[in-house]
Amino acid sequence: MKHVVEYASDQGGSVLVEVDEASAGPVMRGSGTDRFSLVEKADRTFEDATATVTPAARSLIARLRSIDDPPDEVGIVFGVQLSAQTGAFIASVAAQANFTVSMTWRRSGAADG
């Protein structure tokens, strides 16, 4: 069931995230008159919840930069799914994690005109 989870932000304010899972607990606010009025308060900040995906991104970038002919630029695109209970994790398609990687090499010393 989809519901909204409110994550406090280290920068002030909060971030509302729609999640598709059973609600974790009774900490709700709102009038309950429509499906968007109930908001579950997360027990961690948005930054804490999303920090779990940082090591995976850093590791993959470091691995790609360590090849024999390292690229000048490395880009990684992956989905992040948030859960009220577990925080952020890399979203999957079927039974596989989904990463899109781009690498760019700029050859210096190319002949001019």
Please name which of 3, 65, 72 lies closest in space to residue 40, comparing C-alpha atoms: 3
For residue 42, pLDDT beyond 80: yes
Q: Do the domain assignments include residue 110?
A: no
- Give Cα separations from 24 to 30, 31, 80, 86 (angstroms): 16, 19, 20, 10
Q: Do the domain assignments include residue 113?
A: no
Q: Is the pTM of this model over 0.75?
A: no
Total tally of structural domains belonging to the chain: 1
Q: Do the domain assignments include residue 112?
A: no
Residue 43: give the domain boundaries: 2-104
Residue 86 in tokens: 């577990």
Q: Do the domain assignments include residue 43?
A: yes
pLDDT at 108: 75
Q: What is the pLDDT of residues 66-108, one digit of tens each?
A: 999 889 998 888 888 877 777 877 776 665 667 888 899 998 7
Q: What is the pLDDT of residues 23-41, one digit of tens each?
A: 555 444 554 555 445 788 8
pLDDT at 66: 92
